[in-house]
Amino acid sequence: MTVWKDGVDTKGLWTYSSGDRFTRKAIRNNRIWSEVVEARKVLIAKALAWREAAIADGWYSQPTYRHEDELTAFRLTRDGFVVQGLARPAGELSVGSGEISCWGPDGLHIPAGEIYDWVALNSAVETCGYCGSHPVKTKRVGFAGRCCEACLPKMRSAIETPGWAE
What are the tens digits of pLDDT across the range 54-90? 999 999 999 999 999 999 999 999 999 999 999 999 9
The three-class DSSP label of residue 149 is coil
Indicate if 55 and 85 belong to the same structural domain: yes
Give the tens place of pLDDT for each residue, 18-47: 888 888 999 999 999 999 999 999 999 999
Indicate if 53 and 110 belong to the same structural domain: yes
Domain enclosing residue 142, as ranges: 126-166
**pLDDT recorded at residue 2:** 60
Indicate if 79 and 136 belong to the same structural domain: no
What pTM does this model have? Answer: 0.88
What is the spatial distance between Cα 96 and Cα 144, in angstroms, rounded to a whole number? 26
Give the tens place of pLDDT for each residue, 111-139: 999 999 999 999 999 999 999 999 999 99
Indicate if 148 and 100 belong to the same structural domain: no
- Of the CA atoms within 13 Å of residue 145, those in its CB half-sphere come to 18
Indicate if 52 and 18 belong to the same structural domain: yes
Domain count along the chain = 2
Judge whether residue 152 has pLDDT over 60.
yes
